[in-house]
Chain A
Amino acid sequence: MIRMKDVSKVYDAGVLALDRVNLEIRKGEFVFVVGPSGAGKSTLIKLLYRQEVPTEGQVVVAGNDLGTMRRREIPYFRRKIGVVFQDFKLLYDRTVAENIAFALIVTGAAGRDVIRRVMQMISVVGLKGRQNAYPNQLSGGEQQRVAIARALIRNPEILLADEPTGNLDPKTSLEIFRLIERANIYGTTVVVATHARHIVDSMRKRVIEIKSGSVVRDDRRGAYDR
């Protein structure tokens, strides 16, 4: 599902963010990416949804070679990927339902089906009854649920999350990870960059550790620390 071959990323300022990274993630896997701040976790995630392109090496995601992908193909590729961020990236002038429906409407899905799917997704993420609330009427955890619902509404092949619980308390974080795990159980490949030590330790999934742009550890059922 995801393959990185000798991938390096150097930003314009000359910063080496990733240094010859090789990794392979199979369909249906749940992977934690851990490491200190600035290690290159976010860059790795950005390469996977083609927000960034590698300076060297090859990134293949869901059958697409992202380095040679044409510009107009990017939107169609991104429809196969759901992305969740630490800061939720919601539209604050739209309701919960509108935020979730947004992902469907702007990709051309239309009609009565949209409302049915949105309502269904709202109940999946546990926000039943809150569909007409605006994001700033919600708690952080609830906002992240909206973001997850938006990421999952198109049934993506891959769910990427960059510090999804960075702004949330431990209990809420756990609930968010339960939700992400549930998507994984239904077949979505999941890659999460995180600092949530207790969660990584309790879930015992594959852990990839990055330090200074290099993969230093890849455990099949790992913990946050070696």
Chain B
Amino acid sequence: MRTSLAGYLLGETGKSIWRNKLSSLLSCGTTALALFLLGVAFIINLNLGFMFQVVQKQMEIQVYLDKELSEDAYAEIYEAVKAMPGVAEVKYVSKADALEELKEMFRDKASVLEGLGEDNPLPASVRVNMVEAAMIPETVAAIEQIPGVDDVEYQAEAASRLASLGRVSQAVSLGGMAVVGLVAIMVISNSIRLTVDAKRHEIAIMKLVGATDELIVGPFILTGIVLGVLGGVFGASLAIGLYSWVVSTIQELLPFVPILNLTVETAVDMLIVMLSTGVVVGVLGSTISLRRYLRV
């Protein structure tokens, strides 16, 4: 016979999960599914961020400089651009560098460049990378105002499209997380309600002999937490396992698609997020189903 309070709490929790195996399994499974979806949303979010970064890196602003200016004037422009807000990286490309790049590009067809002789027609330029794609149009406008800037080129459409795509997909995946989380809370709440219903008689006796509300509620909250955490473990394993498979498949079949490799660190982060969500879901689910039973 268990005679300690802790023993009682743990024993009751274990018993209530075991006795309602089917409903426990169901709520655990649904929570796992919900948290799996949460994990997927999490991974999508991570990847969006990652892709965003990758594409942003490729999305340079090309600033062509006036051919007539001195190296000092170029340096001044370089500094002015570098000082702008939101600028991540600035690279100065001299006339000579530009020619080198061109030669590199046409390495196999050297004859194309032969006609140039000693004369270098290419302008010096400054290449700018932004922290955020959304800031590109503004920055371009500002750069165009700098004296000595001949022309500014960037992929305007791509930039704005990427920015809005980023915003939309982030909103969608966050919304998905919220919906899925709510479903999980409802499922757990329902499962605990079944247990509470089954134990009504016992709850009445507990109240009769003077058990406090905290003690009456304790095993149910604990049950909710255990279900939430178990669901979290299953869901996270499923999400991480599936993602690793997806990554390896994509890297094999479509090597040019930028996809984030799940590091141990990210996986641990994800596990923490999902398990804490599991705990929150469990606590909320059980609290919801208990609220009205306490008014006895």
CB distance from B202 to the nearest CB of A (A): 6
- Contact in complex: B213, A78 (CB < 8 Å): no
Judged by DSSP, the binding face of B is helix
Who on chain A is nearest to B218 by CB? A106
Count A-B contacts at CB 8 Å.
64
- Contact in complex: B209, A103 (CB < 8 Å): yes
Among the listed stretches A34-42, A109-117, A135-143, A198-206, which one makes contact with chain B, having 4 or more residues with CB under 8 Å of it? A109-117
Q: Does B292 contact A (CB under 8 A)?
A: no
Residues of B close to A112: CB separation below 8 A: 3
Q: Which of B1, B207, B213 contacts A98 (CB 8 A)?
A: B1
Q: Does B268 contact A (CB under 8 A)?
A: no
Of the listed residues A78, A97, A106, the one surrounded by the most CB atoms of chain B closer than 10 A to its CB is A106
Among the listed stretches A55-63, A69-77, A164-172, which one makes contact with chain B, having 4 or more residues with CB under 8 Å of it? A69-77
Q: Does A83 contact B (CB under 8 A)?
A: yes
A67 to B220, CA, bound (A): 30
Who on chain B is nearest to A82 by CB? B209
Q: Which of B4, B202, B212, B215 contacts A111 (CB 8 A)?
A: B4
- Contact in complex: A72, B213 (CB < 8 Å): yes
Q: Does A179 contact B (CB under 8 A)?
A: no
Who on chain B is nearest to A114 by CB? B3
Q: Does B211 contact A (CB under 8 A)?
A: yes
Q: What 1/0 mask marks residues of chain B from 1 to 40 whose CB sits below 8 Å from any chain A CB? A: 1111100100000000000000000000000000000000
CB distance from B117 to the nearest CB of A (A): 95
Residues of A close to B8: CB separation below 8 A: 105-106
Q: What 1/0 mask marks residues of chain B from 62 to 101 whose CB sits below 8 Å from any chain A CB? A: 0000000000000000000000000000000000000000
- Contact in complex: B215, A106 (CB < 8 Å): yes
**Residues of A within 8 Å of B, CB-based: how many?**
28
Residues of A close to B206: CB separation below 8 A: 102, 106
Q: Does B109 contact A (CB under 8 A)?
A: no
Residues of B close to A72: CB separation below 8 A: 212-213
Residues of A close to B209: CB separation below 8 A: 78-79, 102-103, 106-107, 150, 154
Who on chain B is nearest to A108 by CB? B5
Q: Does A221 contact B (CB under 8 A)?
A: no
Residues of B close to A122: CB separation below 8 A: none
Who on chain B is nearest to A104 by CB? B3
CB distance from A91 to the nearest CB of B (A): 6
Q: Which of B3, B205, B212, B215 contacts A101 (CB 8 A)?
A: B3
Q: Does B165 contact A (CB under 8 A)?
A: no
6 A-B pairs closest in CB distance: A79-B210, A78-B210, A106-B211, A114-B3, A103-B209, A75-B210
Residues of B in contact with A (beta carbons under 8 Å apart): 1-5, 8, 201-202, 204-213, 215-216
- The contact sample of 7 A-B pairs, CB cut-off 8 A, is A75-B207, A78-B208, A89-B204, A91-B202, A105-B4, A106-B8, A110-B4
